[in-house]
Each structure stands twice: as C-alpha cells, then as structure tokens.
Amino acid sequence: MSKFLVSRRTLLGASAALLASTALPRLAFGQDAVKGGRLIVAADSEPRNLNPAIVASNGVFFISSKVIEPLAEASFDGENGLAPRLATAWEGSADGLSATFTLREGVTWHDGKPFTSEDVAFSALQVWKPLQNLGRLVFANLESVDTPDPLTAIFRFSKPTPFQLIRYALPATTSVLPRHLYDGTDIAENPANAKLVGTGPFKFTEYKPGEYYLLSCNETYWGEGEPNLDEILYRVLPDRAAAASALEAEEIQLAAFSAVPLADLDRIGKVEGIEVISKGYEGLTYQLAVEINHRTEQLANLKVRQAIAHAIDKKFVVDNIFLGYAKAATGIVPQNAPEFYDASTPQYAFDVDKANALLDEAGYARGADGNRFTLRLLPAPYFNETTQFGAYLRQALAAVGIDAQIANNDSAAHQQAVYTDHAFDIAVAPPVFRGDPAISTTILVRTATAEGVPFSNQGGYSNPAIDKLIDDALVTVDDKARTALYNQFQQAVAEDLPLINVAEWGFITVARTSVHNVSNNPRWAVSNWADTWIDG
Amino acid sequence: MQRAGKLVIRRLIGSIPVLLIVLVGTFFLLELASGDAVDAYLVSSGGGDAALVEALRADWGLDQSPITRLGLYLWNIAHLDFGHSVLLNRPILDVVLERLPNTLLLMGSAVALSFGIGSLLGIVAGSRPGSARDRLLSIGSLALYAVPSFWLGLVLVVVFSVQLRWLPLSGIETLASGKAGLDRAWDILRHLVLPVGALALIYLALYLRLMRAGMVEVWRQDFVLAARAKGLSRRRIVWRHVARNALLPLITMLGLQSATMLGGSVVIESVFSIPGLGRLAQEAVSGRDTPLLMGIIVISAVLVIVTNLIVDVVYAMLDPRVGASEASA
C-alpha cells in the first residue's frame, strides 16, 4: 500500500508533467488478459437519471460510462491528455468559431443501428447545450452542427470559443446518445434514460432498484478484442462499512470513489489479496475550500479573510483529516492541472500570531471572553472529510478569537441554507476541478446571477476585475493567451481571497489483486473499463 | 364470531382519522425541514444553473404552495393514487410493493423467532423464579437488549461472513444468480440468517422478560395452589396452568412490536443492504421526496393497523372478557 501512497505523492508533486505522465499503475506485464468473468463492484448511490448526456456527474458516469461513450476520454499518455473514443481526430479553427470532429468508422449502437455524425449533431444541439448541467455552459455559444458526411461533425459557434476548453470538456460533456431513440421525444423523460442504449463496450442489461445494476459484454464493440469482461455487476451497498467487509469476504472485487473510508485503508491494505490504489482520479480533482459570505460585515474585510487563511494549518488537515491522501492547496487551480496551474500565487502560511495581528488591525479586538466575533459555520455533509474539517476549523478559529458555531445539516438542507438562503457566514465546500477552470471553477467566484445554484458563488462576492478575466478567458482562442489570463485570475483570487482553498484530493480505489488494468487513466472509475480483466 | 366482525368494522372506521393525522403530520414535518427535492437532486447530480432549477421545481410541482400540494395529495390518496416518486422517477405504489415483501419477510421472521424463542426461554426462567438458570437468563437477555442492533449486525457480519465465511454478507439473495425454486428459497434463507438473527436476538429479551414476569404473577394465584394440592406434576402445572395464563400480555406485545420493528429494520436494512421499506423511507427523507415518504407511511400505517386488529381479534377469541363491551356498545 505504501508503494502507491508514495507514487501518488511524487506524482502530485511533479505537477508539471502529470497528465502527460506515462507511469502506468499495475499493468500486468507479461500477463495476457483473461477473457470473461463477472466483475462485482460496490455502488453507493442509485442516480435518478442515468443518462450521462443529461447529468454529467461522477455518480452517473460510474455506471453509464461503460455503456455510453464520449467523443474522447482522458489519458495519461495521449496528446493533450486525451485518448480517442467516438471521435478519432479533432481540431479547432483559428478564429474559434468552429471545431471539426472526425468520427470513428464502423461503430454501431447496441440495438444494431449505425452510429453517424447525425447522432453527434443531435446530442450536441438537443441535449448537451440545452439540458446538460455542464454542457449548458461549455456549449452555450454552439449555434449549429454541420454533418457533411456520416463521419464528420463540424461544430459552429456564434462567439469565439476556445478549443482548449472544448478539449478539456470532451470526456465529461460529450456522451453521445442515439438520435433514433430520442428524436421527437421528451428527452428528459425518455425510457432510454433508465435503460441506456449506447456504443460502449458493455450493454445495459438489468437494474433492480436497491440491489444491483448488471451490464454485459457488447459482442460487436469497435475496440478490437474488447471488452475482456463478460459482465459488470454494480452491487448497491449504502452502508459505509459494507464495502470494506464485502471486499474482505470476496463478495465484491472493487470499490471506487473512496467507498472504503480512509480510516479503514491502513488495515485493509494489509489484507492478503487486497490493494489500495490512489491513482486514477487525476482528472477528477476535488478541492476542500472555505466558502465565505461577503455580506457578513467582518468577512467583507480582506484582513479578516487573510487572518482566517493564516489560521488554518493545511499540513495538519492533510495529515490528520485526509490521513495523507491529499495535498495542501496553493490556490483556486489545483496542482495537477499543469497547463493552468500557477505556482507563484501569494501564500498564507500557518501563523496564529499573524492572524491575531491582522484581526487586531482590522479593529476586532478580543472581548472579555476572549472572542472577537461569532460566525455561523456550515460544513457540507457530502464527505466525512468536509464535516471533520468543519470541526477542525472551529478549533483553528477559536485560537484567533473567532467563535465559529457549527450547524450540521443534511444535503438538501445544506444546499438551501448556503446556496439559496445565504444563511451562513463561512461554509466548507468540496468543489470539483474538471480540467479547465471555465467548466466548474470560475463559477465559484464570478459575480452571481441567480440564487439556488449549488457549487457556485453564493457568498455575494463581486469583483469586476476578476469577472473581466473570467469573461475574457471564455472568448480567448489562443491557448497561451488564455492560460495567461487564468494565471492572472489565480493571482487575483489569491490576493483577494473570495474563498480559501485548503486541500486537494482524489479518491481511493480498493480492489482485489485479481482485478487487472485498474486505474490506468486519469478518470478511470468513470471511464469504459474495456481493457479491465479478472483472473479466471 | 359476530362479535369479532363488529370489532373489525369499528376499528377500520376508527383508523381513518388516525391515518389522516399521520399523513398531515408527516407532510408538515418534512415541509419544516429545510431544502426540497430539487435541492437534494442538485447536490447528487453535481449542480446546474438557475433555469434548470426553476424548470425542475415547476416539473416536480414544487412551485405550488404547501397547502395546495397537501390538498392535491390527499385527494389523490383518497382515490388510492399514490403518485409518482421524484427521487426514483417511478410510480410510488410499484416501488413500495416491490420493497414490502423483503421487509415483511425480515420482520415476520424476526418477530416469530423472537416471540417463539423468547417465550420458551421465559417459561424456562419463570418455571422456577429466583433459581440460578432464571438469573442467568435474565441477565443474559438484558445484556442482549442493551446492545444496539447495528453493532450486533456488524459483529455478526465480521464473524460469520468475513472471518468464517459461512454465511453471505449482505443482500436478500445472490444477485443476478439465475436461481429459481428451492435453490432460490435456500439462498434467501441463508441471506436472512444474520439480519433476522440480529433483529431477533435483541427483541427476544422483551418476550423473555414479559413471559417470566407473567409467570411469577400467576404462580401466586389460588388456582395454582389448587393444582398443586391436586398433586399435579410440576411440569403439568408449568405448561397447562402457569404458562398459558401468562401468555396474554405477550400477544399485546406482539402487536406493538410489529410497529417498532418497521423502525428497527431501517438500521438492519442499511447494514445488510436489504432493499426494504425502512431503507426506502430513509432515502425518501434525505431526498425530500414527500410523496414517496407519505406512500411508505400510509402502507406502514395500514400494516400496523391490520396487525393490531388481528391481535385484538385473537385476544377477543382467547379471552371472552376482552372487547365484549366494545362490540356490544
């Protein structure tokens, strides 16, 4: 286990080359893939809508990515960090007004109909742009899709759209749906959203609510000799302790997305035949951040925000809350986004004296009880680590004389309190970095336009300079110029602290050693598993 | 028998206001919790924009006032239409009926087991109150009763599934196994051993204590003295005279238990990943799916009312004094 821990740390440290890294984990050198068998994995949730073209979320992808494929998938060694899937080549025009995709030949849908550029055009215009949670933003300026022949799709944009952004968005936002099943229907309510039909290596076979999803081998998959597995069975295990026991009892062979709690990893990693793997999530970086309500008088003061940043011991958080399976954050863009990451942003070292001095300077002297003021602290309930950090933050702030009152809510209540009612002063959030800052990161600080949108700036923060950088980057076509804008953006955020980034983490996969080709791409858990195999 | 028939009708009519109070109460309790189904959905799906949020609220009927929604819901329930679950995107009646057999199987076996073994052990303990085996059983049962069910479940799993590997770890049957007939029944039976054991071991104490206490009471009665004076064997006195008369309170308990067990099964269903009603209710609350939760509650309430009715009828048949005034009124 420690082997992988070290490899992950060095990997994250060598931020410059991470996505392009060729280090492949656990490739069974000299071993031939065994055909057949059933892989049983743990699933902790049953998404309401399983259609990845509409709901681009990891919970949906975990199951649906084996059935419905995107145009391209993330890759450790591919050009620009991508490997071809339904598209074999892609190119953006110099003016940013069009992007041409060459599609794969000889692909058929699971129902036998051929896959063509019409399917891509339909998915882009009727699904990704109007219906998809991420695509609504990425494809906002998509005007039309030309299909000169069945294997070419040309996207036309009304405003310059950086191809850099499209490229990073390909794995998550371009799941292609079969036009012949969706055209002319109510797409959001189509029965195929529950019984998926795609082009992927596995066909959707059965769903028994509360028990399992069963996928089975697509005999006519385009990938030569793929898939290796006969079946993938997702076993619904809602209890946090269940996945670890099920792995030990060999009732499941793999648990992804940290279904086995961090505290159990040390023990389970020592069990014969079980491996703890921290690779394979580089394309799905989660960030631990302190969200700030800038409507609160004290927090509108930059000195107070700086004091809070100085009061947090990031190393302690990484070592004790994440048990080492994370990295201290340096800013709003994580270190494993080498194309955008700027290492020179201002840092706020852990320094209680400085934090106290800053608060004194800001004019908030300690009262008779040692407190300067009281804040409402709402930790997001989505992960053990976010609630634990909430408890830590309360202590850290107490050391500088800020009395943080914790209110723990469940998901729905937290969502309403923070993102709709704004009934918080500071909140703990786990936003996701999805390859390009424009996809789901700039929304955390850009002046908000609407209430009720989760994982967005609901703290009332508004900074015209930062807004301008964000808006310019959305229409800057040149990669270098665009990256430069994002470097300025990172500097500005680090200086003004609209939110405080504390740590960055990927998830942990725990698997039986009988499972091979695990974690061999940066979005492995949500990729197609066509090359995965198990010992016969 | 006519007496029992009258009792059934009276009880059924009397249960309608109970159901109504339960429904309205649940509705407003869930209304008081902050966040709605759209909030819960957005969190699980990783976000969206303002237009999507608005469209979802309109689509799921959450843009109307609570009173309108409650009225509409009650109107539909009165027509036996349970509506559509927004959380699962399926008709509620289908979902509930799909889960009900699992919970009934789990609960039924657990109640039967704890009632059977509990009362037997109670007779053993109560046949010689104050003896060493009575003390041992009383202390042992109390200790079991003090154990939380989820903990007992987890320990059983670690011992019998992970270490010994005698029994399957979770679920109600082997998934997608293609088993049928007797094979399948045997498979389900093996899967039920641990969850039923965890539930039954804890409630067993209740029946044991109740039986024992009842027997201690009966031993002091004159007719027992008479029986002894007649020269009946101790065994005959214990079984024919003492135990029989101590049994009635246990039947009352059985009715009450059936309701408690629905709640207790939430934890066990989660620990053992059994797709039952308890787990569904928990998911409905965290997803703020009011219609689904109300559907579950209506069905559970009906279940509890029917069980209690059966208990009352059995009671009335066993003891002629019970229900006589009610039925003749």
Name residues of chain B where pLDDT drops below 50. Answer: 327-329
Interface test with B, best of A453, A457, A458, A512 (most B CBs within 10 A): A453
Across the interface, of A49, A237, A412, the residue whose CB is closest to B43 is A412
Which pLDDT score is estimated for B306?
A: 82
Residue A7 has pLDDT above 60, yes or no: no
Paired strand residues for A38: A231
Query: What's the pLDDT at B325?
Result: 54
- Give residue B2's pLDDT: 67
Nearest-CA distance A163 → chain B (Å): 23
Report the pLDDT value the prediction gives residue A22, as an integer from 0 to 100.
40
Q: What's the Rg (C-alpha) of chain B?
A: 24
Location of structure tokens 């219906």? A131
Cβ of residue B280 closer than 8 Å to a chain A Cβ: yes
Q: What is the mean pLDDT of residues A261-286?
A: 91
Question: What percentage of chain A reaches a pLDDT higher than 70?
Answer: 94
Nearest-by-Cβ selection for B42 from A45, A245, A454: A454
* Chain A nearest C-alpha distance from B187 (Å): 15
pLDDT band at A201 (very low <50, low <70, confident <90, very high): very high
A131 has pLDDT over 50: yes
Q: Find out whether B121 and B204 touch, Cβ atoms under 8 Å.
A: yes
Q: Is some CB atom of chain B closer than 8 A to the CB atom of A49?
A: yes
Interface size A-B, in CB pairs within 8 Å, comes to 163
Predicted complex ipTM exceeds 0.85: no
Give residue A151's pLDDT. 96
Q: pLDDT tens for residues B97-149? A: 888 888 888 888 988 898 999 989 998 888 888 889 889 988 888 888 888 87
Chain A residues in contact with B89 by the CB 8 A cut-off are 48-49, 194
pTM: 0.86
Average pLDDT score over residue span A86-109:
95
Between B225 and A149, the higher pLDDT residue: A149
Q: Do residue B53 and residue A45 have CB atoms under 8 angstroms apart?
A: no
Provide the mean pLDDT of chain A: 90
Q: Is the minimum CB–CB distance between A239 and chain B shorter than 8 Å? A: yes
Per-residue pLDDT, A12: 39
Q: Which residues of A touch B52 (CB under 8 A)?
A: 133, 136
Q: Give B217-222's long-range contacts (Cβ < 8 A, gap of 24+).
A: B217/B246, B218/B242, B218/B245, B218/B246, B219/B126, B219/B129, B221/B245
d(CA A128, CA A126) in angstroms, rounded, equals 7
CB within 8 Å: B271 and A59: no
* Contact check, Cβ <8 Å, A414/B87: no
Give the per-residue pLDDT at A297. 94
Q: ∠A99-A104-A109 over CA atoms, to 5°? A: 115
pLDDT one-digit tens code per residue, A484-501: 999 999 999 999 999 999
Q: Over 60: is that where the pLDDT of A27 sits?
A: no
What are the pLDDT digits (tens) for A291-323? Answer: 999 999 999 999 999 999 999 999 999 999 999
Among A132, A211, A215, A268, the residue to mutate for chain B (most B Cβ within 10 A): A211
Query: What CA–CA distance (Å, rounded) separates A143 from A160?
Result: 11
Mutate to test the interface with B, among A187, A239, A416 (most CBs of B within 10 A): A239
pLDDT of residue B199: 86
Q: Which long-range contacts (CB under 8 A, 24 or more apart) does B216-219 make?
A: B216/B126, B216/B129, B217/B246, B218/B242, B218/B245, B218/B246, B219/B126, B219/B129
Helix, strand, coil in percent for chain B, rounding step 5: 80, 0, 20
Pick the residue from chain B with its C-alpha nearest to A241: B271
Residue B54 exposed, middle or buried by CB count within 10 Å (0-12, 13-18, 19+): middle
Find, in chain B, the residue whose alpha carbon is nearest to that of A194.
B89
Nearest to A288 by CA among A461, A506, A19: A506
pLDDT in tens, A364-407: 999 999 999 999 999 999 898 999 999 999 999 999 999 999 99
How far, in Å, CA of A187 to CA of A174, rounded? Answer: 16
Question: Where does the pLDDT of residue A4 fall: very low under 50, low under 70, confident under 90, or very high at 90 and above?
Answer: very low
CB-based contact A133 B87, cutoff 8 Å: no
The answer for A 418-447 residues in CB contact with B (under 8 A) is 420-421, 432, 440
Choose the closest CB to B43 out of A214, A233, A411: A411
Contact indicator for B26, B293 with CB cutoff of 8 Å? yes
Helices B92-127 and B181-219: angle between axes, nearest 10 degrees = 40
Å from B142 to nearest chain A CA?
27
CB B204 within 8 A of CB B141: yes
Nearest-neighbour CA in chain B from A315: distance (Å) = 28
The larger pLDDT score, comparing residue B193 to residue A29, is at B193
CB burial readout A150-173, b (16+ within 10 A) else e: ebbbbbebeebbbbbbbbbbbbbb
Whether A433 and A333 have beta carbons less than 8 Å apart is answered as yes
